[in-house]
Amino acid sequence: MDNTLCRIRDLYRAIAEFESSFSKTYGISLNEGMLLCTLLDKGQQTSSEIADALGLSHSNASKVIRSVEDKDLITRQVGKEDKRQMNFILTAAGRELITRIKNTTYHLPELLAKAIRQTE
């Protein structure tokens, strides 16, 4: 019998365990952390670009953006060429937090660590 569903369940649990620890340590969710990482790597992004980068619906991306914005980790910037376009950029606090996160060594649940090693 194929064990795929059970392995996915186990991975989901490992991710949930990691997210709980991550959230307690940094005060942000994984999606919020991935948004900060995206802005650090790519610079300013529109909400559509953020949604695509995170693999979220536009509605869910808007919620994550709003949450990170409320924490003063990102800010809005009106587009230079198109004033209707809104871009998001890291604040100094957001840059400091994501830099600290990226420079941290994590203790990952073994199943999650193994899955990550397989993708490298």
Return the sign of the alpha-carbon dihedral for residues 82, 66, 99, 55: negative
Q: In the structure, how many helices (H) and strands (E) does the chain have?
A: 6, 3
Closest CA to 79 of 50, 45, 53: 45
CATH number for position 72: 1.10.10.10
pLDDT in tens, 69-110: 999 999 999 877 777 788 999 999 999 999 999 998 877 778
Q: How many residues in total does the chain contain? A: 120
Question: How many domains does the chain fold into?
Answer: 1
The letter for the amino acid at 102 is K
Q: How far is CA 87 from the centre of its chain?
A: 17
Whether the predicted pLDDT of 119 surpasses 60: yes
pLDDT tens sequence across 2-36 = 788 888 888 888 889 889 999 999 999 999 999 99
Q: What is the pTM of this model?
A: 0.85
* pLDDT number for residue 56: 95
Q: Any idea what the Cα angle at residue 18 is, between residues 110 and 113, rounded to 5°?
A: 25
Angle between helices 92-102 and 30-42 (to 10 degrees): 100
Q: 10 Å Cβ neighbour count for 101? A: 17
Q: What is the pLDDT of residue 24?
A: 94
Given pLDDT bands bounded at 50, 70 and 90, which one contains residue 1? low
Tokens of residue 23, six digits: 């959230």
Residue 34, domain extent: 4-119
